[in-house]
Structure 1
Amino acid sequence: MPPLLYLASASPRRSELLVMLEVPFELVLPRVEEQRRPNEAAADYVQRLAQDKATAGAAMAPRPLPVLAGDTIVVLDDDVLEKPVDKADGLSMLRRLSGRNHQVMTAMALAWQGRLEVVLVTTEVSFRTLSETDIERYWASGEPTDKAGGYGIQGLAGRFVVRINGSYSAVVGLPLVETEALLRRGGVLSG
């Protein structure tokens, strides 16, 4: 079946979730600078990144199809925890998240026919207290190196999560309910 959509994301998790919406898609991989502006609120930042990626993806798409893009950040004490830059950064993030609540913000943007729409989903996540052994072992697994906040809820770090309030799929990287509604508004999905 020919694609109805481009996904502007290198995230395998985002691709796996989009498959659940049963929309055929192809990837485009735009390069967008992910740099928070001075005094930029976390919610504004993640939405801007999603919009920038969708716009850049639309500019490079080989066919005039809608382009979906997303970005996910972890917010703790008003600090944005992105992908760890190195081991020390990753361990520090996990120590900070230990025994605490934090927010995971995922923004999804759709660019089509000169239009751009974005949705933001914020989910509250609670971690149990982590031991140094938990933290070191988890880092040694290699899993946290490419994930916002230094963890993946769908992987080994799932055992750290006491509860979530909100969308599990948004924490993984693509909020299914909200993305499906966005694709319907953009004419990608019918019904």
Structure 2
Amino acid sequence: MFILKSTSPRRIKILTDLGFQFRVEPANIDETQNQGELPLVYLERMVHSKLGSQGNENNLYLAADTIVVFQNEILHKPIDLEDSIHILRKLSGNKHSVFSGAGLRANASTDFFYEETIIEFKNWKEKEIREYILRCKPFDKAGSYGIQDEKGPVLSREGSYTNVMGFPLRSFFSRSSVWLPFCGRS
């Protein structure tokens, strides 16, 4: 059986749209970043924490996490309206990286992988930022935005669209030998 360790509506949609059948069993973990922890170290720790170490060896477990990084600082999900405004103001007119990492655990082995996408934001004024937040309510998204949001802040991207949505799809498919036996796909 294929088990997704996430309740992210975007990850669920990506996998469902691809025809996967899976069960959702979210991991409730502490997502606090450690003092001085580098972004990619944090990302890998989150994925491994979500995967956990328990489970049935006949199952395939998939966990994922996404971080937005600007000037080597992780911009987490906003805690409120003012935090969302602060994050979007910081990103306005600038480029940043979005990293989505994932881990597959089958039998006793775990495979961690990630992708990076470079995003450039429009140079937004305070009014545009506030209008976007009120319209799209990006409070459940790292970096306080969604690439899929209509009339959103994204000007351009270099890399994978699904990676920014929260799943490193290209890297996932390159590991098909790990997940194919569990998913009934060929």
> TM (normalized to structure 1)?
0.89
**Alpha-carbon offset, residue 120 of structure 1:** 1.0
In the alignment, what sits opposite 1:23?
A: 20
In the alignment, what sits opposite 2:127?
A: 133
> TM (normalized to structure 2)?
0.91
Q: Deviations over 1:5-60 (max 9, x none)?
A: 1101010000011123322111001111101122211011111101110126xx36
One-letter identity of the residue aligned with 1:30 = A
In the alignment, what sits opposite 2:163?
A: 170
- Alignment counterpart, residue 106 of structure 2, candidates 93, 101, 112: 112
One-letter identity of the residue aligned with 2:154 = V
In the alignment, what sits opposite 2:78?
A: 84
What is the rounded CA distance, in whole Å, between the counterparts of 2:152 and 2:83 in structure 1? 21
Q: CA separation of 1:135/1:162 partners in 2, compared to 1, >3 Å: closer, same or farther?
A: same
Stretches of structure 2 that go unaligned for 5 or more consecutive residues are none
What SS class does the counterpart of residue 138 from structure 1 fall into?
helix
What is the rounded CA distance, in whole Å, between the counterparts of 1:188 and 1:126 in structure 2? 38
What SS class does the counterpart of residue 177 from structure 2 fall into?
helix
What SS class does the counterpart of residue 127 from structure 2 fall into?
helix
What is the rounded CA distance, in whole Å, between the counterparts of 1:112 and 1:132 in structure 2? 47
In the alignment, what sits opposite 1:161?
A: 154
One-letter identity of the residue aligned with 1:179 = F
Say whether the 8 Å CA contact 1:30–1:60 is kept in structure 2. Answer: no
Please tell me the root mean square deviation across aligned C-alpha atoms, in Å: 1.8
One-letter identity of the residue aligned with 1:168 = Y
Q: Deviations over 1:88-113 (max 9, x none)?
A: 11100000010000000100111111
- Alignment counterpart, residue 87 of structure 2, candidates 71, 90, 93: 93
One-letter identity of the residue aligned with 1:17 = I
